[in-house]
Structures are given as C-alpha cells and as structure tokens.
Amino acid sequence: MSAATIDLTGVDIPTNRTYLNSRQEQEYTEEIKGLEATLNDPKARLENVGEVRKQLARVRKDLEQQAPPEVTGIQKDRIAAEAKELLAKMMEGMPSQEEMRKCPPGAIGKHRSWEMENKPRIIRYRNIMRILNRGNEDPDMASIEKFRPRTSTLNMDNAVIPGASYHIPPDTEQYKQNYDRTFGGGEVSADAVGKLLAKIEALEKRIDVPKASATPARPVAPSTGPVVGGCGKEFGNVGGYRSHRNHCEQCRENGPE
C-alpha cells in the first residue's frame, strides 16, 4: 500500500498531527494483510463479511492518510534544508537537560512558553524526519531531545530535585596543556625536574630561614623555683643562681642562662 505522493509544486506537511513511525506503519500493513487473508480464505467462516470489509477499508484509509508520503529528490533537499532551519529556531530558549531534570524556579514557565511557541515547529520537524528516514526503526530518529542544550540559564539553588552541579571546562588546547602540566601527560623529563629544583632553591634563598646551630643550645634557667647550676650547686631562685654564676666558671660555660 503506497502513501500519497507530495505535489511537485510544494511540500504539504501537517503541523497538527504526526506521521506514523516505522513500527506503527508496519503494524498497519500487517493488519491489512491479515484482514485480506481472512476475506480471501475460502475455509474461513465469517459471520459478518461486510463488517470485516469495512474494517479493512478503515485501516487502509488510516494508513494512506497517516503514513509518511513519498517524495522526489528535489523535495527531499527542500525539506531537509527546512528541518535545519526549524531545529535552529527551536534551539532558541530551549530549556536545558539540567533544567528539565531538576526543575528549578522558573523552569515550568520557561518550558510552557517555549513549547507553546514551538509546538507547530516540533510536529513539522518530526514529520520531515519521518519522511526523510522512512523505514528507519530508530525510536529517537525524529526526537528533538538529543539536541537539548546542556548549559542552563536558571539558578539551581532551590531546585525541586536537587543534585550535584558540575563545571565542565571548555575543550580547548590551553586546557589540555594545563591539565597535562598539572596531572601529568607522560614521563617527566630531566630538564623539567632540573627547572623545578632550581625554582625551589631560588625560593629558599629568598626566604630568610635561620639555620640550625652546630652546638646544642644551653638550658634556660626557670623564672621561678630552684635552679641547679653547672657546678651542681642548687639555688632557691634564679636571682641567687645568677649572682653565683658571675663568680663560677663552670656555671658560665655549662649552666642555664
């Protein structure tokens, strides 16, 4: 059963209903074959032959009106160019994947406004794709969801369905170079290691870090309580010890300060 052929002077594609997809068209065709076989079977005992014939006529008419029509090569080129224009127009203001999934404030209104403006374009685009790809069994062949943008314009802070937000950096050559430099893009060369060590050495020179003394630091006398001098003599307080240290060579060399 062949569908109606489009007029050469134009392409009459509806914007209020969609053509049958490949699976639906096949189901109609199989139903027609089954009804025809039943009517032509001499062994079939039909109680109401007239009703079966009416059903067959209805199915044939539905298939003829709803199946994608046959088109010429020139018409294919024309409607293929129109499909690109329709898609570009529908992409303007189209809610993103994240907005549709998380439903932040303003997402419902944005979607309704966009859908109201683009509904005729959506139907016409689907019909064009089903004309151009007749027989294609891909269920997403005429879907616009695969073109839905990823970048969102709405605030996700108060989304109905919260979720983690990810920032995907642009796929640029500078990003790739920075990534390789940070996380490593292969074996590190000896020249790169030498330059890094030189930078570390230069930074250490600029920072005034006191070096550790070769000799151990002398003990410090406590501010209160008894003090034991380097000579072993014990004093009741630091004042008595310091007075003694002025006259004791052992305490001046080994005793606490």
In a domain, 110, yes or no: yes
Question: What is the structure's pLDDT at 85?
Answer: 95
In a domain, 227, yes or no: yes
Query: Of 95 and 187, which is predicted with more confidence?
Result: 95
- Last residue in a domain, options 33, 66, 99: 66
In angstroms and rounded to an integer, the radius of gyration of the C-alpha atoms of the chain is 44
Question: What is the structure's pLDDT at 6?
Answer: 46
Question: What is the structure's pLDDT at 2?
Answer: 43
For residue 140, the enclosing domain spans: 73-147
**Mean pLDDT of all residues in the chain?**
79
| pLDDT at position 164 over 60 | no
Question: Are 60 and 93 within one domain?
Answer: no
- Last residue in a domain, options 131, 147, 163: 147
Question: What is the structure's pLDDT at 131?
Answer: 94
Contact 134, 22 (CB under 8 A): yes
Long-range (24+ apart) CB contacts under 8 A made by 130-135 are 130/18, 130/19, 130/20, 130/21, 130/68, 131/13, 131/19, 131/68, 131/69, 131/71, 131/76, 131/79, 132/76, 132/79, 132/80, 132/83, 134/22, 134/68, 135/22
**Rounded distance between C-alpha atoms, residue 253 and residue 207, angstroms:** 33
Structural domains of the chain, count: 3
Question: What is the structure's pLDDT at 232?
Answer: 74
In a domain, 115, yes or no: yes
In a domain, 232, yes or no: yes
- Last residue in a domain, options 96, 124, 147: 147
In a domain, 6, yes or no: no
| pLDDT at position 201 over 70 | yes
In a domain, 84, yes or no: yes
Amino acid (one-letter) located at 105: P
Tell me the CA distances in angstroms from 1 to 26, 28, 29, 55, 182, one per residue in order. Answer: 11, 10, 8, 16, 64
Its sign, for the CA torsion 24, 27, 33, 39, is negative
pTM of the predicted model, to two decimals?
0.55
Question: What is the structure's pLDDT at 96?
Answer: 87
Query: Of 75 and 171, which is predicted with more confidence?
Result: 75
Question: What is the structure's pLDDT at 89?
Answer: 95
Share of the chain above pLDDT 70, in %: 72
Residue 192 CB: number of other CB atoms within 10 A?
11
Question: What is the structure's pLDDT at 216?
Answer: 61
Question: Are 119 and 53 within one domain?
Answer: no
In a domain, 253, yes or no: yes
Environment class of residue 114 by beta-carbon count within 10 Å: exposed (0-12), middle (13-18) or buried (19+)?
A: middle
| pLDDT at position 61 over 60 | yes
In a domain, 4, yes or no: no
